Every structure is written in C-alpha cells, then in structure tokens.
Chains A and B, each alone.
Chain A
C-alpha cells in the first residue's frame, strides 16, 4: 500500500518540477535586469573589489608588521 502511494507521489513531484522548468524558461522570455546584467555586475564588482584590496594591501605602504620569522634578517644593533 505504502510503496504504491510513495511512487505515485514521486511521479507527481517529478512532473511538477518539469513544469516549473518549462515555465521558468517561458518567464525568461521577458528578461528582467538581473537576467540581463546580473552576471556582469557580479563579475565586475568582484574584480574591482579584489583589485582594490590587493592594491591597498601591497602597494600604498601600509605596514602590516607581519612575523619576522623567515622574513627579516637581523642586523647588528649595538655598534658602540
């Protein structure tokens, strides 16, 4: 009894998903702003953000004071 109803319900769900898919492709005939430009906005925004922050981090002279281990060679300090 139960497997029968479960199979019937599964078939119903599958069909409605197909209907949703076809309706979505129909909807996108009238494209909105997000469909047309969404990918461009996302890609350009991300690129601008990454470039700007990498520039800030490396080029403008911010002292991050990272650990000297492996990076700084010590120098004699008590000359006198």
Chain B
C-alpha cells in the first residue's frame, strides 16, 4: 500500500495537483520516465499502474454504494428505543398521581353526564350514541 500523502480527491475535486503516490520505487520511477515518451508504447498494465500512482480510487470505486445506512438507521432506532426506557423511568419516578378525573369510573360517569346533556348532538359525541338502545351506534 503506497504511503498516504496530502492527497485529497473527491467527486467535486477530481484532479488535484498532488499525485497519490509521491514516494516511488525504482520501478515506478522508470515507468514515470517512460511516460514522458509516446504513450502508444505503454502497455495496458503500465497505463493502469500509472493511473494507480496518480489516483487513489477510480470514479467507480469512489462512488460505490455502501451499507452504512443500515448501521446509521439501526443506531437511530436504538437511541429512539432508549428514549422509551427514559420515559418509563419518568413514569415511575417523576409523574405525579393520576388525577381522580382520569380513573375509569369517573370517565364512565363523565361520559354519561355528557350524553345526558346531549353534547355535540349533530356530528360529535352524542350523535354517535343510540339513545333508544342505550349503546353506541354501529
């Protein structure tokens, strides 16, 4: 693996001045010398080697998809679940006593009182109650 220099190329800045590899061994230096001549005498493998000296990754490699989103979303959901545990702790240690008006018995009596007063008889609560059969309308 060639040493990593101050090479910073990205999709928006694809061709920086600095090549990827600046410390070349003898073989690579010979290749750079050959590059100064006519490019038609370079073999395909040599051209690829020159590319790899100049650039860290090809565009296809640079732009490849990854599965990072799975880790990210998994962690997001995990912390959202941790929030649920926080709320559980709050319910046990912080929430005050439930007011009497929220007990089931009180709510049932409150409902009967609203139905007696015929609250919202046109489209609301009392309109959903069947007064003859004394049950909710289907």
Contacts and interface: CB of A to CB of B under 8 A. Distances in A.
Interface of A: 16, 19-20, 23-24, 27, 32-35, 37-46, 48-53, 55-56, 60-63, 65, 68-70, 72-77
B87 interface: yes
Interface secondary structure of A, over-half rule: helix
Contact of B74 (A32, A41, A68, A73): A41
24 contacts: A16-B60, A23-B61, A27-B61, A32-B66, A34-B66, A34-B67, A39-B70, A40-B74, A41-B70, A41-B74, A42-B77, A44-B78, A45-B81, A46-B77, A49-B80, A51-B81, A53-B81, A55-B84, A56-B84, A65-B102, A68-B107, A70-B136, A74-B112, A76-B109
B105 interface: yes
Interface in B83-117: 84-85, 87-88, 91-92, 98, 102, 104-105, 107-113, 115
Given A52-B81, A62-B91, A35 B105 contact: no
B60 A19 contact: yes
A7 B98 CA distance: 73
Interface of B: 60-61, 64-71, 73-78, 80-82, 84-85, 87-88, 91-92, 98, 102, 104-105, 107-113, 115, 125, 128, 136
Contacts of A33: 71
A46 B61 CA distance: 30
A76 B6 CA distance: 81
B91 A42 contact: no
